[in-house]
Amino acid sequence: MIHKVYSLQFTVYRIFLILFTVHCSLFTVAYAQVISSTELINNAKQYDGQVVTYSGEVIGDVMKRGNFAWLNVNDGANAIGIWIEASLTKDILYTGSFKSKGDLIEITGIFNRACPGHGGDLDIHAREIKKIQVGNKLYEKLDINKRNFAIALFIILGLIWILTRLKTR
């Protein structure tokens, strides 16, 4: 009986250990792969010329330049320019603006602190692009409070204007 309890404890311990190891290794891989814009900008010299993985929302316009295109990708802190083959941008459906949430993408490519081919811009030359999440259109909901306040304000304004006109006459 005692032996059985010890054996069960050992099995639970082993499962826990395996799960912990898998969790840690997954976390480490994920952490090592995606580098934030702040990290890249603040340590640009360290990452210069290295292959990095960067993730964020596509914002503004996809600007095609011949067979290539510029994407600007914002990870919530900063946006970084991505130089990419135009054919790889075909799947990008939404770009971030007031009316839409842009596609969330992950790019792997060479990071340049001062790109020699692009006038010294800090950029990433993408080799791979992976769409993580499709963006969507953002629909505005009328703010009733704002509408009512605006109506009340202009009624008061109109009354005062009429009163001042009458007084002037």
Q: Which two tokens stand for residue 163?
A: 């009163």
Q: Which stretch binds other proteins (CB under 8 A): 8-16, 20-28, 70-78, 127-135?
A: 70-78
Which residue from 17, 22, 156, 162 is in contact with other proteins, where contact means CB under 8 A? Answer: 156
CA separation for the pair 131, 133 (Å, rounded): 6
Between residues 34 and 60, which has the closer beta carbon with respect to other proteins? 60
Which residue from 63, 93, 134, 162 is in contact with other proteins, where contact means CB under 8 A? Answer: 63
Between residues 17 and 63, which has the closer beta carbon with respect to other proteins? 63
C-beta separation of 75 from 56 below 8 A: yes
Q: Which of residues 6-35 bind other proteins (CB under 8 A)?
A: none
Instruction: For residue 72, state whether it binds other proteins (rule: CB under 8 A).
Output: yes
Q: Minimal distance in Å, beta carbon 159 to other proteins? A: 10
Strand partners, 152: none
Place of tokens 């320019």: 81
CA separation for the pair 84, 164 (Å, rounded): 63
Strand partners, 54: 107
Instruction: For residue 116, state whether it binds other proteins (rule: CB under 8 A).
Output: yes
Instruction: For residue 96, state whether it binds other proteins (rule: CB under 8 A).
Output: yes
CA separation for the pair 127, 68 (Å, rounded): 12
C-beta separation of 86 from 128 below 8 A: no
Place of tokens 């826990």: 16
Query: Contact residues for other proteins (CB under 8 A)?
Result: 41-42, 44-45, 59-65, 69-70, 72, 74, 78-79, 81, 96-98, 101, 113-114, 116, 118-123, 140, 142-143, 146-147, 149-150, 153-154, 156-157, 160-161, 164
